Amino acid sequence: MKRLILITGLIFIFFIPLLSQDEEEVPTPPRRSAPAKIGGAGGFTQNLLFLNLDPINEYLALSGAAKFDKQPMLLLGGQGYGYIMLVQNLRIGGLGASGTMKSASIDTGIYPNMRRDVELSVGFGGMTIEYVLPIVPRLDISAGIMLGAGSTTLKIWRNQDPNKIWNDIWNEYGNNYTSSGDYARTLKGAFFIYQPQVNIEYAVFRWVGIRVGVAYNGMSAPDWKLDDKYDLIGVPSNISGKGLMINGGIFLGTFLF
């Protein structure tokens, strides 16, 4: 009996460590996480701004000028940014862009013919704050906002004689009672700009990246001037440079993957 108890105890002592080893979970290798973004980049951007041209076209039609075509305005610009490192994958920077579209018409109902030209310009610039979410190697999604200032400018002018002569210009300038049909005005509105945006970014190489995205160009708190010196009141609130925007660009800098 004592011998049986001794043998049983030895078996128990021998197998306990083996059983405990089987019950232990096999350690899981640590999950690989994307490296934190470092450095920065800068590059050239192209933007298509879809403006609501109907309010402006109404006034052009009433004035005998040609309406703007129903097409987006092309804005060219640039952007630069750097990762602040205090918050992983958060970056700050700045961007700017501007573009112009034109219309022209000739009134043949008078002599000499009257030509009317209109130029619409939109420009903006400011500081950007963006957070970058790595998806797979080389591919990221960034989301953020730009805050800054911008302007919408309308230049309108007309003339009856397309052929200008040097001496005639100075004679007309000195004549207080000129009957010339020439006329020119600049209507400019300054705005506060806010531009939320989402972009898809792909690192072609470790020093070259491309981007496509969408944004909304919002404008508020307008301050309109006539010829850059007179306050202009009564401007309809729906005349501005706000609208949906599609953007793309190529950047040079630091891209991890």
Structure confidence by residue, pLDDT tens digits, 62-87: 998 999 988 899 999 999 999 998 99
Structure confidence by residue, pLDDT tens digits, 102-146: 999 988 877 678 889 999 999 999 999 999 999 999 999 999 999
Of residues 149 and 25, more confidence is placed in: 149
- Please answer whether residues 57 and 5 qualify as being in contact, where contact means their C-beta atoms are separated by less than 8 angstroms: no
**Cis amide leading into 112 (omega within 30):** yes
d(CA 33, CA 55): 51
Q: Is the dihedral of CA 103, 107, 113, 116 positive or negative?
A: negative
User: 96: part of which helix (H) or strand (E)?
Assistant: strand 90-107
- Please answer whether residues 189 and 223 qualify as being in contact, where contact means their C-beta atoms are separated by less than 8 angstroms: yes
The structure tokens listed for 56 are: 């402006």
Question: Would you call 248 helix, strand, or coil by DSSP?
Answer: strand
Q: Domain coordinates of the chain in residue numbers?
A: 39-162+180-253
d(CA 145, CA 196): 4
Structure confidence by residue, pLDDT tens digits, 193-215: 999 999 999 999 999 999 999 99
- Please answer whether residues 152 and 122 qualify as being in contact, where contact means their C-beta atoms are separated by less than 8 angstroms: yes
Q: Does domain 39-162+180-253 have CATH number 3.40.50.1370?
A: no
d(CA 198, CA 90): 14
